Amino acid sequence: MIALLFSIIASTFIFVIFKFFNKYKVNTLHAIVFNYYTACIFGALHSNTPINVTTIINEKWLLGALGLGVLFITIFNVMALTVQRNGLSVASVASKMSVVIPIIFGLYVYNENLGPLKIIGVFFALCAVYLVSIKDKGPRINLKGLWLPIILFLGAGIIDTSIKYIENTYVADQGIPIFSATIFFFAGSIGTLILVSKSFKAPLKLSYKSFVGGFLLGIANYYSIYFLLLALQSDQLESSVVFTINNVAIVTASTLLGLLLFKEKLQFKNWIGIGLALISIILIVNS
């Protein structure tokens, strides 16, 4: 439970850092690429065993790490496009509602418990994510760009599901740091290729703000994944419980921080969502 709490805290800090990106005019793509390399370095530093490239190449999880690296950078760009074309609310709902995918996967593949309290808790959690994320009059979906939130929903769900499956099937107890570092290395490498391709059209204007922002984001990003993997390895909580609590708590904590730090206004339905989030966590934990 402690690992899950730290994952939620780290993930919430990602939200805060992105908010400061807007305030200080940080180039998000540049910072994102540097963030992946920072996270990779932190993974290497956390490893208790010497880093051996040959050993990593021969790991059974290598292709899975490559696939996750591709998904990380791809879904980030899909999320950015979704925000631009459909709005922040749609992007938030699509990405966080995707928790149903790893939940269903855990129930069917790992035969996890599905009692009445958990069913009610998951339903409340989904309602909470929706109500907390919606601002103004609600999400307005551009039908021409409907494929974007659909891909975001599927991609975010596949990422969570893949992390659980690969971790459970191939990653040793002491292998989390290197596994995480490898995922971030692949994501950073792909991001670098994107930047290089863009440089042929317009010169890159790198700023120290991007490096500082990317460094801070990388620390939060690494620990969000590291502690999530630790939580998934725990025998105390099923994966369906971990992912549900993780997603609903991040949305709720981010919303409250937005209220406290950035003076964002919450509507009545947002407060109802926060209340449902707390109830859902209590129900799921006690199911």
Question: pLDDT tens digits, residue range 42-86?
Answer: 999 988 877 888 889 999 999 999 999 999 988 877 887 776 677
Residue type for position 18: F
Quote the pLDDT of residue 145: 63
Residues of the chain above pLDDT 70, percent: 94
Vertex 238, ends 105 and 160: CA angle to 5°?
Answer: 45
Count up the domains in the chain and report the number.
1
Q: What is the dihedral of CA 178, 33, 68, 46, to 10 degrees?
A: 20
Tell whether 17 is covered by a domain.
yes
Tell whether 285 is covered by a domain.
no
| Lowest-pLDDT range of 35-39, 144-148, 150-154, 195-199 | 144-148
* pLDDT tens by residue, 33-54: 999 999 999 999 988 877 888 8
**Helices and strands counted in the chain (H then E):** 12, 0
Tell whether 255 is covered by a domain.
no
Tell whether 154 is covered by a domain.
yes
34 vs 91, more confident? 34
Q: Residue 20 above 80 pLDDT? A: yes
* pLDDT tens by residue, 124-143: 988 888 888 776 665 555 55
Q: Residue 281 above 80 pLDDT? A: yes
Quote the pLDDT of residue 161: 92
Question: pTM, whole model, 2 decimals?
Answer: 0.86
Mean pLDDT, residues 7-33: 86
Mean pLDDT, residues 161-181: 87
Quote the pLDDT of residue 141: 55
Q: Residue 144 above 70 pLDDT? A: no
92 vs 233, more confident? 233
Tell whether 276 is covered by a domain.
no
Residue numbers of the domain that contains 77:
2-110+140-237
257 vs 89, more confident? 257
Tell whether 283 is covered by a domain.
no
Tell whether 164 is covered by a domain.
yes
User: Distances in Å between the alpha carbon of 148 and those of 32, 81, 83, 86?
Assistant: 20, 7, 9, 9
Quote the pLDDT of residue 5: 93
User: Distances in Å between the alpha carbon of 141 and those of 38, 64, 89, 97, 135?
Assistant: 35, 33, 10, 16, 14
Tell whether 261 is covered by a domain.
no
